[in-house]
Structure formats: structure tokens, C-alpha cells
Amino acid sequence: MAVAATIQNYLDSHGIEYELIEHPRTDNPKQSARIAHVPPEQMARPVLLGDDINYLLAVVPASHRLDLDRLNQVMARSLELVDGEELEFTFSDCEKDAIPPVGEAYGVDTVLDVALSHQEAIYFEAGDHKHLVRMRGDDFRRLMEHVPRVQVSHHL
């Protein structure tokens, strides 16, 4: 599959230059970072959450753990992890657990952890478990310019 069509179209429509990095199949972003020799603090790991209002995609570095209590406090919500079926429906052109961190491309509100705000490069899963997208940090920040930036994680 390489890059999910939704992400490819979204990146292209925003004029974002990116590189595709192929790697052996992995189960999660942290493994992908390790096997592709990517600094885990530059690997954007999305976590899909939901409540009675709607979905929210929290994007944190693979080197961090989402602090759900803090996120709920900051956002004044009661978010919980979303199960696999809802993930597959919302991100229908992506393999299970290989969703990209660009929620806006899928109509999902997104929040970006501040720990990703100053990275030189950003990597993320392209929609499958064998490819990463690499882009300049400035391009990622431009892509996420309308997304709130809050501290919602802590280092593992």
C-alpha cells in the first residue's frame, strides 16, 4: 500500500514534500522507529480517543506516554481510547494500528503534544506497517498549524 491515498492527497494538496521510508513489518510506531533507526522523539504516534461529543486524535512522540487525565483536564472532556472497529471505519484506507497523525485529513479533530513542536524532522506511519513518511519539522508544523498544541504526554 505504501502511503494511504487520503494522506497522499492531503500532503500533495498542501504542497508538503516528504520522503517514504520502507522498513520490515512492525506492530506499532515505537517498533517502526527502532527498526527504521528513527529517533523516537521524532516519531509522531497518534492515539484515537472519543467521547459523547466526537473523536479526538492526540499526537505524541513515540518516546512518550499519553497522559489521558491531563488531556481531559486541558480539553474539558471525558475522552477514552477508541476500539479497533471504530479506528478501521474512520481510517478506512489504513491498516489496523497504522494510522497517520494527520487527523484533519480524515475529518478528525487533532491535538499535538508540544514535545513534537521543535523537532528537526517528523516521521509517522504512512497507513501500513511497512512504510514511514519523513518530512521536515517546519513542514509538519505548517501542516498542523490549526491544531492546538498542549503538553499531554510525559517521557517514558
Residue closest to 26 by CA, chosen among 49, 45, 41, 10: 45
- pTM score: 0.94
CATH superfamily of 5-144: YbaK/aminoacyl-tRNA synthetase-associated domain (3.90.960.10)
pLDDT at 20: 95
pLDDT at 56: 95
Tens of pLDDT along the chain (156 residues) come to 578 999 999 999 999 999 999 999 988 888 898 999 999 999 999 999 999 989 999 999 999 999 999 999 999 999 999 877 777 788 999 998 889 999 999 999 999 999 999 999 999 999 999 999 999 999 999 999 999 999 999 887
DSSP per position, the chain: --S-HHHHHHHHHTT---EEEE-S--SSHHHHHHHTT--GGGBEEEEEEE-SS-EEEEEEETTEEE-HHHHHHHHTS--EEPPHHHHHHHTTTS-TT---S-GGGGT-EEEEEGGGTT-SEEEEE-SSSSEEEEEEHHHHHHHTTTS-EE--EEE-
Do the Cβ atoms of 76 and 133 come closer than 8 Å?
no
pLDDT at 74: 93
